Amino acid sequence: MILAIPLLIIYMKIGLSDTIYGVALAHTIMVLPLIILVSASILASVSVDYEEAAMIFGLSRIHAFFKITLPLALPGLVASAILAFIISWNEVFIAAILNLTNRTLPAHIFRTAMDSPDYFKFTAGFIMSIPAVIFIFFVRKHLVTMWGISLK
């Protein structure tokens, strides 16, 4: 909430208020610092020895990264993507302030549900959980791999 009002003033000055690009930029600004920290620590935890061994056997540095480092770091990067999705999906306040006509789905549901009876609010909460469940369904293989459990 602290960032929303100054961000709206800046967006109004540069002409990004009430645009899809403005909301995308705001969500990126909110998520990017944390995801850089998490992803950097995940990639730093993969041992350099694996890449060096791959380069000894003839792979270039780029091929060693894509064939050795990236598959080892993939479960952590998927967890980082889930974190980015959750942060962006739950960021309703900035999306509600920056867009008045083209709201994001969570901002639209939030604004509509506030003036509705309780059973509509519960239904709106359920509807908002569906995209997160679908996203988790597609990345569950990588999550299970991260936790060390195999799928059969």
Specify the range with the lowest mean pLDDT, choosing from 48-52, 116-120, 136-140. 136-140
Q: Report whether 128 contacts 106 (CB < 8 A).
A: yes
Q: Which residues of 75-88 are buried (b: 16+ CB within 10 A; e: fewer)?
A: bbbbbbbbebbeeb
| pLDDT above 60: residue 89 | yes
pLDDT value at residue 144? 64
Longest distance between any two alpha carbons in the chain, whole Å? 66
**Roughly what angle, to the nearest 10 degrees, separates helices 4-14 and 20-45?**
120
Asked, for residue 15, whether it belongs to a domain, the answer is yes
Does the residue 151 lie in any domain? no
**Residue 110 counted as domain residue:** yes
Residue 74 located in a structural domain: yes
Per-residue model confidence (pLDDT) at position 147? 55
CATH code of the domain containing 87: 1.10.3720.10
pLDDT at position 145 over 70: no
| Per-position b or e across 99-112, b if 16+ CB within 10 A of its CB | beeebbebbbbbee
DSSP string, 71-96: HHHHHHHHHHHHHHHHHHHH--HHHH
- Residue 69 inside a domain? The answer is yes
Place of tokens 């900035």: 94
Please tell me the total count of domains within the chain: 1
Q: What is the pTM of this model?
A: 0.69
Q: Is residue 112 part of a domain?
A: yes
Residue 152 lies in a domain: no
Tell me if 71 is assigned to some domain. Answer: yes
Containing structural domain, residue 108:
4-146
Asked if 86 and 139 touch (Cβ cutoff 8 Å), the reply is no
